Amino acid sequence: MIGFLRGTLVAKKAPSLVLDVGGVGYEVDVPMSTFFKLPAVGEALTLHTHLAVREDAHSLYGFLTEAERSLFRTLIKVTGVGAKLALGVLSGIGVDEFNRCVRANNTARLVRLPGIGKKTAERLVIELRDRLPAVEGGDTAAPDPDLPGGEESPAQEAVSALVALGFKPLDAAAMIKRIPAAGKSSEDLIRLALQGADKK
């Protein structure tokens, strides 16, 4: 098991990054809560990591806080919740708020997270109510021709990132198209899209 990685950030494109650790480039998928707080390319970075081993792939997931990794590991133990869905949850809600929602049976808030429907929200509450830590403190796609800027535009990168987080392509495109894209980076667009989803 790889518990953490410490190295130099050499590339980042939501929701993934590449970390150079002793000359080896590790590709790591991260939730947007971590992605938004990454340093500039070329700077040092330490990530708490989780290694998922399957027959067809070894996948690394990274988190800036131990609390995020702990919640990720708890989520993927829930029936029907995989790593991609868990990253989407962490991208749309803080650790402390998620814990409060589960304890308060607030499924209405949970269904606004990417990939979470009513049944999944109810399952999260039922399966996690007694498994969440007692101590809190963790808060810290298909191309759309109507999107401006072409294939590599910030808008298209933002759509791709949202799809990777579990949103349906058409929904992701609609979320980004509602935001004035001029002068905004893909990170800005993703953050605003997630904030808009939270307010629905």
pLDDT in tens, 66-120: 999 999 999 999 988 999 999 999 998 889 999 989 988 999 999 988 888 999 9
Question: What pLDDT, on a 0 to 100 scale, did the predictor assign at position 115?
Answer: 84
140 pLDDT above the threshold of 60: no
In a domain, residue 143? The reply is no
Question: What pLDDT, on a 0 to 100 scale, did the predictor assign at position 154?
Answer: 84
CATH of the domain at 173: 1.10.8.10
Asked if 74 and 21 sit in the same domain, the reply is no
Question: What pLDDT, on a 0 to 100 scale, did the predictor assign at position 175?
Answer: 85
Asked if 122 and 73 sit in the same domain, the reply is yes
Domain end among 113, 128, 143: 128
- Segments of the chain assigned E as strands: 4-13, 16-21, 24-29, 44-53, 58-63
Q: Which domain holds residue 159?
A: 154-199
Question: Which tens digits make up the pLDDT trace of 145-192?
Answer: 344 433 457 888 888 888 888 787 778 888 888 888 778 888 888 888
DSSP β-ladder status, 58-63 and 24-29? parallel
Domain end among 31, 63, 95: 63
Residue with tokens 């700077």: 43
Asked if 44 and 70 sit in the same domain, the reply is no
Asked if 47 and 10 sit in the same domain, the reply is yes
Asked if 107 and 83 sit in the same domain, the reply is yes
Which residues, listed in sequence order, are joined to residue 20 by a DSSP beta bridge?
8, 25
Question: What pLDDT, on a 0 to 100 scale, did the predictor assign at position 21?
Answer: 97
- For residue 93, what are the contacts with CB-CB under 8 A and spacing of at least 6? 101, 109, 110, 113, 198
CATH of the domain at 93: 1.10.150.20
In a domain, residue 32? The reply is yes
Question: Which is higher by pLDDT, 200 or 43?
Answer: 43
Question: What pLDDT, on a 0 to 100 scale, did the predictor assign at position 198?
Answer: 53
In a domain, residue 135? The reply is no
Asked if 101 and 122 sit in the same domain, the reply is yes
Count other Cβ atoms within 10 Å, centred on residue 143.
Answer: 14
Q: What are phi and psi of 158, to 5 degrees?
A: -65, -40
Which residues, listed in sequence order, are joined to residue 130 by a DSSP beta bridge?
none
Asked if 38 and 24 sit in the same domain, the reply is yes
Asked if 11 and 54 sit in the same domain, the reply is yes
Residue 27 near residue 60 (C-beta atoms within 8 A): yes
Question: What pLDDT, on a 0 to 100 scale, did the predictor assign at position 87?
Answer: 93
Which residues, listed in sequence order, are joined to residue 91 by a DSSP beta bridge?
none
Count other Cβ atoms within 10 Å, centred on residue 139.
Answer: 15
Question: Which is higher by pLDDT, 161 or 134?
Answer: 161
In a domain, residue 159? The reply is yes
In a domain, residue 188? The reply is yes
In a domain, residue 139? The reply is no
Low-confidence winner among 9-13, 19-23, 39-43, 190-194 (lowest mean pLDDT): 190-194
- For residue 70, what are the contacts with CB-CB under 8 A and spacing of at least 6? 133, 138
Asked if 54 and 71 sit in the same domain, the reply is no
Question: What pLDDT, on a 0 to 100 scale, did the predictor assign at position 167?
Answer: 80
Question: What pLDDT, on a 0 to 100 scale, did the predictor assign at position 148?
Answer: 42
In a domain, residue 140? The reply is no
Judged by DSSP in three states, 48 sits in strand
Asked if 85 and 100 sit in the same domain, the reply is yes
Asked if 19 and 70 sit in the same domain, the reply is no
Domains: count for the chain: 3
Residue 118 near residue 107 (C-beta atoms within 8 A): yes
Question: What pLDDT, on a 0 to 100 scale, did the predictor assign at position 80?
Answer: 87
Asked if 80 and 41 sit in the same domain, the reply is no
pLDDT bucket at 142, cuts 50 / 70 / 90: very low
